[in-house]
Structure 1
């Protein structure tokens, strides 16, 4: 009986430590350039300065998501020069191994069994369209270290079809419960899949 209790206690301790280690792992560390970390810090500085809700993280993030979902976000005021610079560095390195963005046509063809010359020619003009690489290492890390099922479910859907509008993704994330919403995995997903994905499209407008 005593041995059984000791084994049970040991199992609980090991399991708890494993969960803690999983949730506390910094997914940004998989990028040895440090760009992901700098870009995330720039994103948070932008939205906290723009919305001015003090340290109210949930209100700040949800207000940002609500504006994206309703297409009412003021993109003339929100992005800082630093965030635009980070965006251009992401775009410049999109062909590099480990890039967190990928050409839409390449993403769609990853699971195609037969890629014909006709298909390649048809999608040649789509190479400039970039989407977040939902099957890449960074996003999979966010998925695996998420504290709840909501983010995992969203990523599972996007893995199958990444060509989903940013406003729809913002709507879905907006309703994630506070306990999961306030996690670093969700915040980084918002930063890169929403904020920087938008900037990837509009950065040329900033000269």
Structure 2
């Protein structure tokens, strides 16, 4: 009997853990014990608000302006990133070996999709010998963002990217732009914008910053 009770207790604990993970209040950054996710997100928002100072009192305008410029390929990548953001992008390149890493080497990513149709931001030319990195849409962090979100549009976007991670950054930004203001300002979507768009771009262009 004591053994059965212990088993029931363990089952209850597991159910509670799953329920907490699915709760919209769960902070997905808790999956990272290095602190880099929180640090990187804070740096992203600081860069964004510094760049779009005229909209700094209106968060939705800041995010929409950023998404618009990415979607239209008109974003000035020389002016937005801070040194801290570039340093973090370089750091993320060294942390791509785990299946739960935010980015993984494209050569290691388990995908049967072709890599020809690429974003001018997220995929270098084929003759570039430098390792290519792809956002790990099947990893723990992004799956947490998806599972704790109450936005069906956001979940649909992530599901599509799980199956085809080669959709251009501009198209992803366009899809996000057409979400409602309330959806865009949810922490899950803002963190997705920070990592899948901003830092994915910086990981490609960081060499240009010396």
TM-score (norm 2): 0.79
**Cα 1:82/1:111, change in 2 over 3 Å:** closer
- Aligned partners of 2:161 and 2:28: how far apart in 1? 19
Aligned counterpart, 2:84: 82
**Cα 1:111/1:85, change in 2 over 3 Å:** closer
**Cα 1:144/1:127, change in 2 over 3 Å:** farther
Quote the RMSD (CA, aligned, Å).
Answer: 2.1
Aligned counterpart, 2:74: 72
After superposition, the C-alpha distances for 1:16-74 in whole angstroms (9 at most, x for unaligned) are xx699711111011010000110000000000110011231111001001001111111
User: Unmatched 5+ residue regions in structure 1?
Assistant: 1-17, 113-122
- Aligned partners of 2:71 and 2:111: how far apart in 1? 29
- Please point out which of 151, 163, 185 is paired with 1:182: 185
Q: Do structure 1's residue 139 and structure 2's residue 135 form an aligned pair?
A: no
Which structure is higher in helix share? 1
Aligned counterpart, 1:26: 27
Paired residue total: 178
Q: SS of the counterpart of 2:24?
A: helix
Equivalent positions of 1:102-113 (< 5 A) are: 102-107=104-109, 110=110
Aligned counterpart, 1:116: none
Q: SS of the counterpart of 2:57?
A: coil
Q: Do structure 1's residue 168 and structure 2's residue 178 form an aligned pair?
A: no
Q: CA deviation at 1:201?
A: 0.2
Q: CA deviation at 1:127?
A: 7.2
Aligned counterpart, 2:65: 63
- Please point out which of 189, 203, 207 is paired with 1:204: 207
TM-score (norm 1): 0.80
- Aligned partners of 1:97 and 1:34: how far apart in 2? 18
Larger CA deviation: 125-134 vs 165-174: 125-134
- Aligned partners of 1:154 and 1:139: how far apart in 2? 11
Q: CA deviation at 1:164?
A: 1.2
